[in-house]
Amino acid sequence: DQQVKQNSPSLSVQEGRISILNCDYTNSMFDYFLWYKKYPAEGPTFLISISSIKDKNEDGRFTVFLNKSAKHLSLHIVPSQPGDSAVYFCAARGNAGNMLTFGGGTRLMVKP
Amino acid sequence: GAVVSQHPSWVICKSGTSVKIECRSLDFQATTMFWYRQFPKQSLMLMATSNEGSKATYEQGVEKDKFLINHASLTLSTLTVTSAHPEDSSFYICSAIPQGGTGANVLTFGAGSRLTVL
């Protein structure tokens, strides 16, 4: 049972345009959501997070939106840069402990 | 910032041998470390939670006798894949939380260890 899903395995965007990565979850007990960026043969690096009490969090070019009623979150990157090309994982945390449940990842390719 | 080091980064072994992967927190103490496994083009699957000085907590479906976890100190956790077989070939990643740290965003991941079993 996949509690966190990223339905788009890949996304291709032109440099300078907006990249929108989507993530859906089923467990209403998740209270904290995170996005990680991962390059090949490297560990994930934390990008941005959002608490379930908020609906938006912005950090530079990265904005995460949370729609609790739809159990949906998205990561917006604008403007997209070639260096943003990587696999992006969304992750969710339950309200006990720091265990994370990851989505399947979306490979973003930003074309120059 | 917090750094987690994994060693080896890549190991190739023969079927039937055991392989040990180390996860070290270089500049902080970690009471809790997590071990993940990633299959090609798939998500990170939590295997177990490793707590310093106590037995690891394994996720459902993960064989504890197959994947031995030892967290003997506040800076080191090891994962030993015993009697490895080709189906154990995967990318193993550890993560750690600084002692006293709160919030999942303080999780720091290692660079991962690729295991190839021939």
pLDDT in tens, B63-97: 999 999 998 889 999 999 999 999 999 999 999 88
What integer pLDDT is reported at residue B99 of this predicted model? Answer: 74
Q: Which stretches of chain A are DSSP H helices? A: none
User: What tokens were used for A61?
Assistant: 């070019």
What integer pLDDT is reported at residue A1 of this predicted model? Answer: 64
Cross-chain Cβ contact B46/A101 below 8 Å? yes
Coarse DSSP helix, strand, coil percentages of chain B, rounded to the nearest 5 percent: 5, 50, 45
Residue of B nearest to A87 (CA): B41
| CB atoms inside a 10 Å sphere around CB A81 | 13
What integer pLDDT is reported at residue A100 of this predicted model? Answer: 83
Q: Is pLDDT at B105 greater than 60 in this prediction?
A: no
Interface test with B, best of A8, A52, A98 (most B CBs within 10 A): A98
> What one-letter code names the amino acid at B66?
K
Cross-chain Cβ contact B103/A32 below 8 Å? yes
Q: Is pLDDT at B23 greater than 60 in this prediction?
A: yes
Q: Report residue A19: phi and psi, to 5°.
A: -105, 130
Q: Which of residues 83-112 of B touch A (CB under 8 A)?
A: 91, 93, 95, 97, 103-105, 107-112
Chain B hits for A93, CB-CB cut-off 8 Å, are 104
Q: Which residues of chain A have pLDDT under 70?
A: 1, 95-98
Cross-chain Cβ contact B44/A45 below 8 Å? no
B79: DSSP letter: E
User: What tokens were used for A53?
Assistant: 């009490």
Distance from CA of A22 to the nearest CA of B (A): 15
Between chain A and chain B, the number of residue pairs with CB atoms below 8 A apart is 60
Cross-chain Cβ contact A49/B114 below 8 Å? no
Q: Report residue A63: phi and psi, to 5°.
A: -135, 135
Cross-chain Cβ contact B104/A98 below 8 Å? yes
Residue recorded with tokens 């021939």: B118
Question: pLDDT category, B2, cuts 50, 70, 90?
Answer: confident
